Amino acid sequence: MTKLSISLGQMHIKLARVEDNLATAERMIAEAAQRDSQLIVLPELWSTGYDLENAGDYADKVGDGMFAQLSRRAKDHSIAVLGSILERRGADFMNCAAYYDAGGSLASVYRKIHLFRLFDEHKWLGEGETPTMLAQPWGDAGLAICYDLRFPELFRRYAVEHGAKLILLCAEWPLARVEHWRTLLIARAIENQCFVAATNSCGDTGGTVFGGHSMVVDPWGLVIAEAGEDECLLTAEINLNEVDRVRRTIPVFEDRRPDAYLTG
Protein backbone atom coordinates (compact mmCIF):
# COMPACT_ATOMS: atom_id res chain seq x y z
CA MET A 1 0.00 0.00 0.00
CA THR A 2 1.56 3.26 -1.09
CA LYS A 3 -1.43 5.57 -1.18
CA LEU A 4 -2.39 7.44 1.96
CA SER A 5 -5.41 9.62 2.66
CA ILE A 6 -4.55 12.27 5.26
CA SER A 7 -6.83 14.73 7.06
CA LEU A 8 -5.42 17.81 8.79
CA GLY A 9 -7.55 19.01 11.71
CA GLN A 10 -6.98 22.77 11.73
CA MET A 11 -8.43 23.72 15.13
CA HIS A 12 -9.16 27.02 16.83
CA ILE A 13 -7.71 25.98 20.19
CA LYS A 14 -9.38 27.42 23.29
CA LEU A 15 -6.69 28.27 25.85
CA ALA A 16 -6.87 25.94 28.89
CA ARG A 17 -10.35 24.66 27.92
CA VAL A 18 -9.53 20.99 27.62
CA GLU A 19 -13.08 19.64 27.32
CA ASP A 20 -13.99 22.12 24.57
CA ASN A 21 -10.84 21.28 22.64
CA LEU A 22 -11.40 17.55 23.08
CA ALA A 23 -14.93 17.92 21.70
CA THR A 24 -13.56 19.69 18.61
CA ALA A 25 -10.90 17.03 18.13
CA GLU A 26 -13.47 14.24 18.50
CA ARG A 27 -15.68 15.85 15.87
CA MET A 28 -12.77 16.17 13.46
CA ILE A 29 -11.59 12.59 14.06
CA ALA A 30 -15.08 11.27 13.35
CA GLU A 31 -15.41 13.37 10.20
CA ALA A 32 -11.98 12.29 8.95
CA ALA A 33 -12.99 8.66 9.42
CA GLN A 34 -16.22 9.28 7.48
CA ARG A 35 -14.07 10.63 4.64
CA ASP A 36 -12.13 7.34 4.69
CA SER A 37 -8.92 9.02 5.77
CA GLN A 38 -6.32 6.65 7.19
CA LEU A 39 -4.70 9.34 9.35
CA ILE A 40 -5.67 12.63 10.99
CA VAL A 41 -3.05 15.09 12.23
CA LEU A 42 -4.08 17.51 15.00
CA PRO A 43 -2.19 20.72 15.89
CA GLU A 44 0.49 21.30 18.50
CA LEU A 45 -0.78 21.33 22.10
CA TRP A 46 -4.29 20.96 20.71
CA SER A 47 -5.92 20.15 24.05
CA THR A 48 -4.60 23.13 26.05
CA GLY A 49 -2.82 25.69 23.92
CA TYR A 50 0.19 27.48 25.40
CA ASP A 51 -0.89 27.49 29.05
CA LEU A 52 2.57 26.25 29.92
CA GLU A 53 2.86 27.78 33.39
CA ASN A 54 0.03 25.43 34.39
CA ALA A 55 1.46 22.41 32.58
CA GLY A 56 1.25 20.37 35.76
CA ASP A 57 -2.53 20.64 35.67
CA TYR A 58 -2.73 18.95 32.26
CA ALA A 59 0.33 16.79 31.66
CA ASP A 60 -0.12 13.01 31.68
CA LYS A 61 2.23 10.07 31.41
CA VAL A 62 2.14 8.42 28.00
CA GLY A 63 -0.76 5.97 28.09
CA ASP A 64 -2.77 7.94 30.63
CA GLY A 65 -5.21 10.86 30.52
CA MET A 66 -5.32 12.64 27.18
CA PHE A 67 -3.05 10.03 25.62
CA ALA A 68 -5.64 7.38 26.51
CA GLN A 69 -8.35 9.60 25.02
CA LEU A 70 -6.48 9.72 21.71
CA SER A 71 -6.00 5.96 21.77
CA ARG A 72 -9.73 5.35 22.32
CA ARG A 73 -10.77 7.77 19.56
CA ALA A 74 -8.37 6.13 17.12
CA LYS A 75 -9.73 2.67 17.93
CA ASP A 76 -13.38 3.77 17.98
CA HIS A 77 -13.13 5.30 14.50
CA SER A 78 -10.50 2.95 13.02
CA ILE A 79 -8.23 5.83 12.05
CA ALA A 80 -4.65 6.68 12.99
CA VAL A 81 -4.31 9.87 15.06
CA LEU A 82 -1.28 12.12 15.60
CA GLY A 83 -1.31 15.17 17.84
CA SER A 84 0.94 17.07 20.24
CA ILE A 85 -0.01 17.28 23.93
CA LEU A 86 1.71 17.86 27.26
CA GLU A 87 3.49 14.84 28.73
CA ARG A 88 4.61 14.27 32.31
CA ARG A 89 8.00 12.55 32.13
CA GLY A 90 9.69 12.16 35.47
CA ALA A 91 10.20 15.66 36.87
CA ASP A 92 9.82 17.27 33.41
CA PHE A 93 6.95 18.29 31.19
CA MET A 94 7.41 17.61 27.47
CA ASN A 95 5.74 18.76 24.26
CA CYS A 96 4.98 15.30 22.96
CA ALA A 97 3.52 14.13 19.64
CA ALA A 98 1.99 10.67 20.00
CA TYR A 99 0.93 8.57 17.01
CA TYR A 100 -1.81 6.00 17.61
CA ASP A 101 -2.60 3.55 14.83
CA ALA A 102 -6.10 2.63 13.69
CA GLY A 103 -6.31 -0.05 16.37
CA GLY A 104 -5.51 2.43 19.13
CA SER A 105 -1.98 1.14 19.72
CA LEU A 106 0.86 3.58 20.34
CA ALA A 107 3.12 3.38 17.29
CA SER A 108 5.54 6.24 17.93
CA VAL A 109 6.32 9.15 20.27
CA TYR A 110 8.27 12.29 19.39
CA ARG A 111 9.29 14.92 21.94
CA LYS A 112 9.94 18.42 20.59
CA ILE A 113 13.68 18.95 20.19
CA HIS A 114 13.76 22.71 19.49
CA LEU A 115 12.01 24.77 22.16
CA PHE A 116 10.56 28.14 21.13
CA ARG A 117 11.91 30.87 23.39
CA LEU A 118 9.43 33.48 22.17
CA PHE A 119 6.67 31.43 23.86
CA ASP A 120 8.85 30.64 26.92
CA GLU A 121 8.90 26.93 26.17
CA HIS A 122 12.43 26.68 27.54
CA LYS A 123 11.19 27.89 30.94
CA TRP A 124 8.52 25.24 31.36
CA LEU A 125 9.40 22.26 29.16
CA GLY A 126 12.16 19.71 28.83
CA GLU A 127 13.99 19.28 25.53
CA GLY A 128 13.44 16.23 23.38
CA GLU A 129 16.66 14.47 22.41
CA THR A 130 15.87 12.07 19.59
CA PRO A 131 14.50 12.36 16.04
CA THR A 132 11.67 9.85 15.67
CA MET A 133 10.69 7.77 12.69
CA LEU A 134 7.33 6.11 12.18
CA ALA A 135 7.08 2.85 10.24
CA GLN A 136 3.66 2.10 8.75
CA PRO A 137 2.38 -0.11 5.89
CA TRP A 138 2.22 2.91 3.56
CA GLY A 139 5.84 3.94 4.24
CA ASP A 140 8.25 5.57 6.65
CA ALA A 141 7.67 9.04 8.09
CA GLY A 142 9.57 11.48 10.29
CA LEU A 143 7.83 13.42 13.06
CA ALA A 144 8.32 17.08 13.97
CA ILE A 145 6.64 19.86 15.95
CA CYS A 146 6.26 23.51 14.92
CA TYR A 147 9.57 25.38 15.60
CA ASP A 148 11.47 22.28 14.39
CA LEU A 149 10.52 23.48 10.91
CA ARG A 150 13.22 26.17 11.12
CA PHE A 151 15.96 23.55 11.54
CA PRO A 152 16.61 21.84 8.20
CA GLU A 153 19.18 19.52 9.76
CA LEU A 154 16.43 17.49 11.41
CA PHE A 155 14.49 17.05 8.17
CA ARG A 156 17.68 16.20 6.27
CA ARG A 157 18.46 13.46 8.76
CA TYR A 158 15.00 11.98 8.30
CA ALA A 159 15.39 11.93 4.52
CA VAL A 160 19.05 10.97 4.10
CA GLU A 161 19.70 8.65 7.04
CA HIS A 162 16.24 7.11 7.39
CA GLY A 163 14.78 7.37 3.89
CA ALA A 164 11.63 9.14 5.07
CA LYS A 165 9.07 9.61 2.31
CA LEU A 166 6.78 11.78 4.44
CA ILE A 167 7.25 14.21 7.30
CA LEU A 168 4.32 14.89 9.62
CA LEU A 169 4.28 18.11 11.63
CA CYS A 170 1.95 19.50 14.34
CA ALA A 171 2.09 23.26 14.93
CA GLU A 172 0.81 26.42 16.57
CA TRP A 173 2.42 28.91 14.19
CA PRO A 174 1.42 32.58 14.49
CA LEU A 175 -0.34 34.43 11.69
CA ALA A 176 2.31 37.18 11.91
CA ARG A 177 4.85 34.77 10.39
CA VAL A 178 2.57 32.63 8.24
CA GLU A 179 4.60 33.36 5.09
CA HIS A 180 7.63 31.83 6.82
CA TRP A 181 5.45 28.79 7.53
CA ARG A 182 4.39 28.39 3.92
CA THR A 183 7.87 28.98 2.52
CA LEU A 184 9.61 26.63 4.93
CA LEU A 185 7.14 23.78 4.41
CA ILE A 186 7.65 23.99 0.66
CA ALA A 187 11.43 24.25 1.06
CA ARG A 188 11.61 21.20 3.35
CA ALA A 189 9.64 19.19 0.79
CA ILE A 190 11.79 20.30 -2.17
CA GLU A 191 15.20 19.89 -0.55
CA ASN A 192 14.36 16.46 0.89
CA GLN A 193 12.26 15.27 -2.05
CA CYS A 194 9.49 14.03 0.20
CA PHE A 195 5.90 14.79 1.13
CA VAL A 196 5.28 17.17 4.02
CA ALA A 197 1.90 17.24 5.80
CA ALA A 198 1.57 19.94 8.45
CA THR A 199 -1.36 20.93 10.65
CA ASN A 200 -1.47 24.42 12.17
CA SER A 201 -3.96 25.95 14.59
CA CYS A 202 -5.95 29.07 13.77
CA GLY A 203 -7.72 31.97 15.42
CA ASP A 204 -7.00 33.89 18.63
CA THR A 205 -5.76 31.66 21.45
CA GLY A 206 -4.79 33.53 24.59
CA GLY A 207 -4.02 36.75 22.73
CA THR A 208 -1.95 35.24 19.91
CA VAL A 209 -3.58 34.81 16.51
CA PHE A 210 -2.42 31.60 14.84
CA GLY A 211 -2.07 31.39 11.10
CA GLY A 212 -3.86 28.30 9.82
CA HIS A 213 -2.77 27.41 6.28
CA SER A 214 -2.34 23.74 7.10
CA MET A 215 -0.75 22.16 4.04
CA VAL A 216 0.17 19.02 2.18
CA VAL A 217 3.17 19.52 -0.11
CA ASP A 218 4.51 17.00 -2.62
CA PRO A 219 8.20 16.13 -3.31
CA TRP A 220 8.36 18.69 -6.15
CA GLY A 221 7.24 21.42 -3.75
CA LEU A 222 3.76 21.63 -5.23
CA VAL A 223 1.01 22.39 -2.73
CA ILE A 224 -1.58 19.60 -3.03
CA ALA A 225 -3.95 21.05 -0.46
CA GLU A 226 -3.96 24.16 1.70
CA ALA A 227 -6.41 25.51 4.25
CA GLY A 228 -7.25 29.15 4.84
CA GLU A 229 -7.26 30.92 8.22
CA ASP A 230 -10.47 29.42 9.64
CA GLU A 231 -11.12 26.18 11.50
CA CYS A 232 -11.56 23.30 9.05
CA LEU A 233 -10.75 19.71 8.20
CA LEU A 234 -8.49 19.46 5.15
CA THR A 235 -8.15 16.11 3.35
CA ALA A 236 -5.77 14.98 0.62
CA GLU A 237 -4.56 11.71 -0.88
CA ILE A 238 -0.89 11.15 -1.61
CA ASN A 239 1.01 8.38 -3.38
CA LEU A 240 4.32 7.63 -1.66
CA ASN A 241 5.70 6.10 -4.88
CA GLU A 242 6.06 9.66 -6.16
CA VAL A 243 9.00 10.12 -3.77
CA ASP A 244 11.02 7.38 -5.47
CA ARG A 245 10.26 8.84 -8.89
CA VAL A 246 11.39 12.33 -7.91
CA ARG A 247 14.55 11.04 -6.27
CA ARG A 248 15.43 9.09 -9.40
CA THR A 249 14.73 12.07 -11.65
CA ILE A 250 17.04 14.42 -9.72
CA PRO A 251 19.37 12.22 -7.62
CA VAL A 252 20.27 14.94 -5.12
CA PHE A 253 21.23 12.58 -2.32
CA GLU A 254 23.74 10.78 -4.54
CA ASP A 255 25.48 14.09 -5.31
CA ARG A 256 25.88 15.25 -1.71
CA ARG A 257 29.45 16.09 -0.61
CA PRO A 258 29.45 15.76 3.19
CA ASP A 259 33.26 15.36 3.01
CA ALA A 260 33.44 18.95 1.73
CA TYR A 261 30.96 20.77 3.95
CA LEU A 262 30.48 18.75 7.12
CA THR A 263 34.04 19.15 8.39
CA GLY A 264 35.90 21.64 10.52
Catalytic site positions = 44, 112, 146
Pairing type for strands 92-100 and 208-211 reads unpaired
Q: List the beta bridge partners of residue 9.
A: 233
